[in-house]
């Protein structure tokens, strides 16, 4: 499909010029956040991690990791830090089900028993789940202690670590309990991405596709070129791709770092995506669920006359052809169940579920500066039935 015809409504981001500070082994990015913190990005930079941590005063470093990460890095980074500092590795079960108050309670209590004080530093070492949970825990322990964010998945390095948004899920849906809490710094070593499972990497790339769809159609060309030969990327490719995706998100965050106004467009595909992820009980990865949410939002936008048929088809081309996701939902989802969960979505007002919708590829629909479009339950139900084939 020829998508070069789609317009690029924004000036191409040129974050390289203004925000990258070159260090010897890593670069430092400016995240534009309200509570700014350095973002260090490099390949094979574990050794410098200890140098930077050593600049802070603390009694203990508490690493929070999941079992997969502990196994993958037991003989590398964890070995080095244990030699250098008083530190302890706290292991929690992998997966979305760990993003809960139950985990906050268990992990927090265990850390306190092990001697955590106000002068300790937490290190979130893992994917978006570990980073969201640990960030939330750090924000709550003694009304806020310091933490360092070490994202190890593509989603973590390019998306979840760029917002300071920490959250766990409620019994009704995703990210209902949360707070903003900034890390001391973010440390992203793209070497870590080599052990990330392919399905998880693919899930991270969905957010990159989303960034292109909502703000920069030309970024979709870049992604297609990088991913055209499949998802098996060299170390250098992974590093370059990570930097490009980070820049695509920073470009959006530049005007609204706390994602309350223009930054809300980053929620594209997330209303249904979160409902699917939540109801799958860990069966669908975040990006996989959001990929269905993106197709769903494109279908709604087409139904209400915002997107043409070709623009809707272009969404399917990206999700199915470039990312290799299926168009059919796995069994077990009904429109009634998804509707009920969407009605608990954090963007909902009154009885209206509100969506980020596109008016063309690369530009979101807005009315008087408001990017959230209320969609009637009739339209929602029809679009849900298209998806669930009921």
The site for ligand NAD (CB under 6 A) is made up of 66, 68-69, 72, 94-96, 99, 126-130, 132, 152-153, 155-156, 159-160, 163, 165, 192-193, 195-197, 200, 203-204, 285-286
In whole angstroms, the minimum distance from the beta carbon of 251 to ligand NAD comes to 16
What is the radius of gyration, based on Cα positions, of the chain?
Answer: 20
Cβ proximity to ligand NAD, 140 vs 381, nearer residue: 140
- The region that residue 156 occupies, defined by phi over 0 for left and psi between -120 and 50 for alpha, beta otherwise, is alpha
Comparing CA positions, the residue from 223, 191, 198, 197 lying closest to residue 209 is: 223
Cβ proximity to ligand NAD, 240 vs 386, nearer residue: 240
159/253 Cα distance (integer angstroms): 11
Asked if 268 contacts 210 with a C-beta cutoff of 8 angstroms, the reply is yes
Would you mind telling me the total number of residues written for the chain in this entry? 390
- Write down the H helix ranges in 119-269: 128-140, 154-158, 198-215, 217-227, 235-253
SS3 76: coil
CA 333 to chain centre: 23
SS3 88: strand
* DSSP output for 103-154: HHHHHHHHHHHTT--TT-EEEEEESHHHHHHHHHHHHHGGG--EEEEEE-SH
Contacts of residue 72, Cβ cutoff 8 Å, sequence gap at least 6: 195
In whole angstroms, the minimum distance from the beta carbon of 271 to ligand NAD comes to 13
In whole angstroms, the minimum distance from the beta carbon of 6 to ligand NAD comes to 25
In whole angstroms, the minimum distance from the beta carbon of 68 to ligand NAD comes to 3
Cβ proximity to ligand NAD, 69 vs 358, nearer residue: 69
In whole angstroms, the minimum distance from the beta carbon of 125 to ligand NAD comes to 9
Cβ proximity to ligand NAD, 111 vs 289, nearer residue: 289
Cβ proximity to ligand NAD, 45 vs 129, nearer residue: 129
Cβ proximity to ligand NAD, 23 vs 74, nearer residue: 74
161/123 Cα distance (integer angstroms): 13
Cβ proximity to ligand NAD, 108 vs 273, nearer residue: 273
Cβ proximity to ligand NAD, 204 vs 362, nearer residue: 204
DSSP 40: E
Helix axis angle, 335-342 relative to 270-279, nearest 10°?
A: 120
103/370 Cα distance (integer angstroms): 36
In whole angstroms, the minimum distance from the beta carbon of 302 to ligand NAD comes to 26
In whole angstroms, the minimum distance from the beta carbon of 288 to ligand NAD comes to 9
In whole angstroms, the minimum distance from the beta carbon of 100 to ligand NAD comes to 11
């Amino acid at each position: 499909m020829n998508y070069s015809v789609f317009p690029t409504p924004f000036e191409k981001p040129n974050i390289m010029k203004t925000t990258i500070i070159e260090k010897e082994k890593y670069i430092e990015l400016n995240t534009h956040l309200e509570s700014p913190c350095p973002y260090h990005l490099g390949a094979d930079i574990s050794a410098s991690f200890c140098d930077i941590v050593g600049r802070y005063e603390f009694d203990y470093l508490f690493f929070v990791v999941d079992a997969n990460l502990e196994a993958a890095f037991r003989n590398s980074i964890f070995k080095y830090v244990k030699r250098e500092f008083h530190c302890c590795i706290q292991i929690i079960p992998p997966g979305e089900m760990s993003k809960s108050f139950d985990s906050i309670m268990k992990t927090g209590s265990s850390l306190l028993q092990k001697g955590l004080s106000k002068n300790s530093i937490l290190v979130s070492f893992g994917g978006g789940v570990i980073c969201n949970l640990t960030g939330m825990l750090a924000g709550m322990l003694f009304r806020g202690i310091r933490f360092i964010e070490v994202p190890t998945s593509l989603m973590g390095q390019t998306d979840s670590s760029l917002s300071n948004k920490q959250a766990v899920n409620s019994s009704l849906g995703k990210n209902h309990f949360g707070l903003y809490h900034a890390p001391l710094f973010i440390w992203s070593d793209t070497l870590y991405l080599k052990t990330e499972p392919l399905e998880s990497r693919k899930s991270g790339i969905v957010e990159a596709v989303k960034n292109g769809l909502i703000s920069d159609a030309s970024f979709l060309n870049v992604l297609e070129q990088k991913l055209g030969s499949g998802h098996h990327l060299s170390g250098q490719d992974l590093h370059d791709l990570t930097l490009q995706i980070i820049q695509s998100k920073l470009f959006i965050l530049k005007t609204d770092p706390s994602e309350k106004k223009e930054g809300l467009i980053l929620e594209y595909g997330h209303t249904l995506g979160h409902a699917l992820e939540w109801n799958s009980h860990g069966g669908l990865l975040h990006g996989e669920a959001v990929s269905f949410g993106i197709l769903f939002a494109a279908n709604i936008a087409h139904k209400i006359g915002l997107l043409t048929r070709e623009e809707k088809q272009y969404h399917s081309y990206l999700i199915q052809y470039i990312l290799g996701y299926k168009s059919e939902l796995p069994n077990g989802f009904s429109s009634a169940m998804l509707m009920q969960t969407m009605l608990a979505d954090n963007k909902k007002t009154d009885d209206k579920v509100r969506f980020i919708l596109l008016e063309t590829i690369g530009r979101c629909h807005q009315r008087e500066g408001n990017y959230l479009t209320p969609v009637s339950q009739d339209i929602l139900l029809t679009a849900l039935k298209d998806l669930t084939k009921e």
